Amino acid sequence: MTDQTRPGRLAGRTALITGASRGLGRAIARLFAAEGAHLFLTATNLAKLEETRGLCADAGVELHCHGADVADPEAVAALFDAAVSWRDGLDIVVNNAGIYIGKPFVDYELDELDRVMKVNVYAVFQLTQLAVKHMLGRGGGKIVNMASTAGKWESLNQSVYNTSKHAVVGLTRCAALETANQGININAICPGFVSTGMFDGLHEAAEALNVPVEELQQQVISRVPMGRLVTGEEVAHLAVYLASSESDGMTGQSIPISGGMRMG
């Protein structure tokens, strides 16, 4: 994944990645490890998290797995403390954990809104706040929040998910504004349709919309001007850039990566 004739772009840095057991979190973990970062990986599924660790093992970096449900504020506080203690500090935090519930607006239940907000917003807020406090004492750091094109534009039949991702974009901008002159860079990635883990919620959405899942899959791909889905590794490369010194002059940005589906 990397040019072995040069040091990794994240060499020697310590990163916390949430939602690292699959999909984008796993892709980011693999590329971060290849770029030399030591990784504190967390997710609810510890067995799947150990699989991610195994995929990163050849990179020769330190790896630690920590099972936690980020919907629980006490678990979030505990995992952050554990991550800081692991290698005496954090340089990078990637808020990647998230859940999706898709259905028409009138069919959402309040408990579904609560569930999505706890994972997609409250946990991101809490970890960003903890990370900022920690990084202020270290002279800086990098925070990468996983938003979505759904956090910048409207979408059919996913109002709860869109609400949560708009919140992540707003949080990223405001936190970045308050820390811009203190060595902390806070940015968000806004993927469109991604092949890695893309169809995890597709069956649920197809059932809610009463259409065959294959038909919905084709509808999704037909909306992408490039005619294909973005790959998890492509998103991971953007995460590496935002976590590295190459992005030192950038903060408060929410960057779409969508195969041209959303421009601007």
pLDDT digits (tens, 9 = 90+) for 47-69: 999 999 999 999 999 999 999 99
Taking residues 239-256, what's their average pLDDT? Answer: 98
Q: Annotated catalytic sites, by residue?
A: 161
pTM of this prediction?
A: 0.93
Question: Average per-residue pLDDT in the chain?
Answer: 93
Judged against a pLDDT cut of 60, whether residue 3 lies above it is answered with: no
H/E element, 188: strand 184-191
Question: Cβ-count burial of 137 within 10 angstroms (0-12 exposed, 13-18 middle, 19+ buried)?
Answer: exposed
What topology is assigned to 14-192+231-256 in CATH? Answer: Rossmann fold (3.40.50)
Q: Where are the domains of the chain?
A: 14-192+231-256
Residue 261 pLDDT level (bands cut at 50, 70, 90): confident
Is the per-residue pLDDT at 83 higher than 70? yes
Dihedral angle over CA of 22, 24, 26, 29, nearest 10: -160
Q: How confident is the model over 127-143, as a mean pLDDT? A: 98
Which pLDDT tens digit goes with each residue over 155-164?
888 999 999 9
Q: What pLDDT digit, counting tens, does each position of 204-244 carry?
A: 667 767 888 788 778 888 989 999 889 999 999 999 999 99
Cβ-in-10-Å burial (0-12, 13-18, 19+) of 51 comes to middle
Token pair 């808020």 is found at: 95
In angstroms and rounded to an integer, the radius of gyration of the C-alpha atoms of the chain is: 18
8 A C-beta contact, residue 164 and residue 121: yes
Give residue 80's Cα distance to chain centre.
16
C-alpha to C-alpha distances, 119 to 71, 97, 98, 157, 173, nearest whole angstrom: 5, 7, 6, 19, 19
pLDDT value of position 35: 98
pLDDT > 90 in the chain, percent: 80
Q: What percent of the chain is modeled with pLDDT above 70? A: 94
The predicted pLDDT at position 1 comes to 46
Q: Give the closest residue to 117 by CA, choosing from 157, 73, 51, 53.
A: 73
Mean pLDDT to the nearest integer, 179-207: 83
